[in-house]
């Protein structure tokens, strides 16, 4: 979609890419949308673009910058396999990624995709994340005594598959052992987006006094105050 020079950068072209024309908008993607299209109705879509039947379709056409097939490199959102691999945190000889299952609309397409995901899991291309124990403060012995909570036995892969079967949307955190396995995942068509898991880093607090609020809110009907600190008096 046109973004920088468009008067309606967030316009959704659902009149042009509609079931009537053999298309469905299935997910936002970058500065545009991911479209599931019926290959047998491409001629119908081309005719509508060449001879739009109403102003709504004309408005959609005016805001579409380009229409291209979804390729394996699009699943990495323009990044190389090496860049993805280096950005992902390590765990037990593998690296952690968030995998978004391709959002097909028909039940038959979803079931075929789930079969492919199950095959990737059997081939050890998609590995479940190792379970971890959580420490919580609770009333095991005393109110402040830490206690261990057993992890869920269900893997991120299984949860993603269950959600996908029920809603058509599914994502999960997985382990991938090698760059080659990552490439196989991207080429499989099972996912439309693969992201490295973001690493959580602890930052030291700043020094000095909190800045004063730059306006007087004593008698003002304040809806809310937003600042950058966790301990500011405001």
Q: Examine the domain organization and report whether 61 and 80 are in the same domain.
A: no
Beta strand extents in the chain (DSSP E only)? 23-29, 32-37, 90-91, 94-101, 127-128, 134-137, 146-149, 171-176, 191-196
Question: Could you tell me if 7 and 57 lie in one domain?
Answer: yes
**Domain count for the chain:** 2
Q: Are residues 30 and 94 in the same domain?
A: no
* Cβ atoms 131, 152 nearer than 8 A: yes
Give the integer Cα–Cα distance in Å for 89 and 202.
Answer: 15
Looking at the structure, do residues 62 and 79 belong to the same domain, yes or no? Answer: no
Assessment of whether the complete model's pTM goes beyond 0.75: no
Dump pLDDT digits (tens) for 36-53: 888 888 899 999 999 998
pLDDT tens digits for range 174-226: 999 999 999 999 888 898 889 999 887 777 766 777 667 666 667 777 666 66
Domain around 56: 1-68
């Amino acid at each position: 979609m046109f973004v920088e020079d468009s008067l309606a950068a967030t316009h959704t072209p659902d009149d042009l890419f509609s079931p009537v024309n053999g298309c469905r908008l299935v997910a936002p993607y970058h500065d545009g949308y991911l479209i599931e299209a019926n290959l047998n109705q491409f001629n119908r879509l081309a005719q509508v673009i060449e001879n739009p039947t109403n102003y709504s379709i004309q408005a959609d056409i005016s805001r579409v910058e380009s229409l291209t097939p979804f390729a394996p490199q699009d699943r990495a959102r323009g990044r190389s396999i090496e860049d993805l691999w280096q950005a992902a945190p390590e765990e037990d000889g593998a690296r952690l990624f968030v995998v978004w299952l391709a959002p097909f609309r028909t039940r038959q397409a979803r079931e075929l995709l789930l079969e492919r995901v199950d095959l990737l899991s059997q081939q050890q291309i998609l590995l479940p994340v190792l379970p971890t124990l959580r420490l919580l403060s609770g009333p095991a012995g005393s109110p402040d005594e830490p206690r261990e909570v057993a992890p869920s036995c269900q893997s991120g892969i299984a949860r993603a598959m269950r959600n996908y079967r029920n809603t058509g949307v599914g994502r999960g955190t997985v382990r991938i052992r090698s760059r080659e396995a990552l490439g196989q995942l991207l080429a499989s068509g099972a996912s439309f987006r693969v992201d490295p898991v973001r690493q959580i880093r602890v930052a030291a607090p700043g020094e000095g006094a909190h800045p004063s609020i730059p306006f007087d809110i004593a008698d003002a009907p304040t809806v809310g105050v937003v600042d950058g600190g966790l301990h500011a008096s405001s």
